[in-house]
Amino acid sequence: MIDLVQLRREPDLVKAALVRRGVPGAEVDELENLDSEHRRLLQDAERLRAEVKDLSRQVGEARRNKDVSTAEALAATSRALGDEERVATEATKEVASRLSALLLMMPNLPDDRVPDGADENDNVEIGRWWPGMDEGAEFPIFAEHQRVPHWEIGQALRILDMESGAKLAGSMFALYRGAGARLVRALTSFAMNHHSDAYEEIRPPTLALTETMISTGHLPKSADDMYEIQRDGLWAIPTGEVPLTSLRRGEILDEAELPVRLTAQTNCFRREAGSAGKDTRGVLRLHEFEKVELFAYCTPAQADEAHADILRRAEALLQELGLPYRLLNLCTGDLGTASAYTIDLEVFSPGVDRWLEVSSVSWFRDYQARRANVRYRTSDGTTALVHTVNGSALAWARIWAALVETYRQEDGSVRLPRVLDPFFGGDATIR
């Protein structure tokens, strides 16, 4: 969540930043007023509590001195102040609850590098890559046999069975078969091998507590997009970012430990509640998909390099797979709630003739760490909140689609990139 101390110190700056994110100025004013009221009520309650404590001491002294009338008068005053203190405490709790609810809905302050904009149409392209670009090759021209959508390829090769997926779990759940399933597994092994040099591999639970979901900013704002298991107070994770962010929740790390780099392969679950009717064919939009996540706890000074490292790794995987991609600097209207700065990577998929998002690499400042209470101890003994950075490297459903379309041969087979051969058990050709 945002820093209330900064709001008190720089109200105009914070308000302008949140207005850029689409937050009405009146909501920021309400937040500021609630914070002031909460601090005032807290002081009143603490003052009354101190007076009651002092009166109790005086009552005790009067009774020890057998001054009954004074003791009774002081006790009556103490009871009256005690009633006031209880009222003040309840009022403090009520305002604190309203303040917390509003604060949890506030998005992060956007970095100066984030362009202004209303939605995804205002994102700014900052780069492209395609095979042979360094040697002067033009952007690929795809042949007709590559212009076949992946769901048709999947059905013809019996590697994607959306009908069985729907039979088992409903629409927008995929069932991969044979070489199609092996391709997902190969991609995960391919990626995890790449990241093992610097990132500790974690195998986290697929379910998370509400507190864990709040830490990343997914709750309460995006509750409608999440799968909740009400009976057990658990949520199916929408991304590996959720458990990784809370892995050190409530802890104080040593500065010498930082950056702490983690990676995890997880299944991810999203209701896609706001996407009814979009991308209903194939695997472009699923309720469940697999993803490899990269994550780092770091100091503010380390954040830019941590972000750049994750971005480099995601790009390196795409380049080894030979998939054309572009980089987008997300605008204020498309930025995730918790993010201060995000670069998206999108691959071009010829069969659907579209750019497909396969990774978001984000810096959250201390927004998530404040929720999760993850701090580090500096060399001078003081503590500060860590910064968090994360990104996908990569999300496999859309990579799967782009691969089978891009590498489809004239005879209908798919000759996958040779870098996948070792993870495919030999020749990575699907016939």
350 part of a folded domain: yes
pLDDT tier, 425 (very low <50, low <70, confident <90, very high otherwise): confident
| Domain stop point among 43, 73, 105 | 105
Mean pLDDT over 138-147 rounds to 97
Catalytic residue, chosen from 357, 377, 413, 415, is 357
Are 147 and 242 contained in the same domain?
yes
pLDDT band for position 33 (50/70/90)?
Answer: very high
Based on the fold, state whether residues 150 and 89 are members of the same structural domain: no
Mark whether 182 is an active-site residue.
Answer: no
Higher pLDDT: 186 or 425? It is 186
What is the mean pLDDT of the segment spanning 18-29? Answer: 97
Per-residue pLDDT band for 78 (boundaries 50, 70, 90) equals confident
The CA–CA distances, whole Å, from 333 to 33, 225, 273, 329 equal: 26, 18, 18, 12
Question: pTM for this structure?
Answer: 0.93
231 and 329 together in one domain: yes
The CATH number given to whatever domain includes residue 51 is 1.10.287.40
Confirm whether 64 is domain-assigned. Answer: yes
Q: Is 275's pLDDT higher than 70?
A: no
Q: Are residues 144 and 285 in the same domain?
A: yes
**pLDDT, average across residues 56-82:** 90
Same domain, 46 and 147: no
On whether residue 232 sits in a domain, the answer given is yes
Give a yes or no: residue 113 inside a domain: no
- Verify whether residue 398 is a known catalytic residue: yes
- In tens, the pLDDT along 285-343 reads 999 999 999 999 999 999 999 999 999 999 999 999 999 999 999 999 999 999 999 99
**Inter-residue contact 173 to 233 (CB < 8 Å):** no
* 311 and 239 assigned to the same domain: yes
Q: Which of 49, 271, 285, 415 is catalytic?
A: 285
88 shares its domain with 202? no
- Give which of 134, 69, 185 is closest to 428, Cα–Cα: 185
Domain final residue pick, 49, 77, 105: 105
Q: Are residues 170 and 90 in the same domain?
A: no
Does the residue 74 lie in any domain? yes
Q: Give the confidence band of 279 by pLDDT, cuts at 50, 70, 90.
A: confident
For the chain, how many structural domains are there in total? Answer: 2
Please say which residue of 105, 130, 165 terminates a domain. Answer: 105
What pLDDT score was predicted for residue 274? 65
Please give the Cα distance from 420 to 187 (Å, whole number).
Answer: 7
In a domain, 114, yes or no: no
Both 333 and 226 in a single domain? yes
Active-site residue, 36 included:
no
Per residue in 152-183, pLDDT (tens digit) is: 999 999 999 999 999 999 999 999 999 999 99
In a domain, 317, yes or no: yes
CATH of the domain at 288: 3.30.930.10
Catalytic residue among 360, 371, 375, 392: 360
Q: Does the residue 191 lie in any domain?
A: yes
What pLDDT is recorded for position 398? 98
Do residues 392 and 363 both lie within one domain? yes
Mean pLDDT of the chain: 96
Q: Are residues 93 and 141 in the same domain?
A: no
Catalytic, 312? Answer no
Active site residue 360: yes
Its domain, for residue 353, covers 120-430
User: What's the confidence (pLDDT) of residue 272?
Assistant: 86
Pair 51, 126 in one domain: no
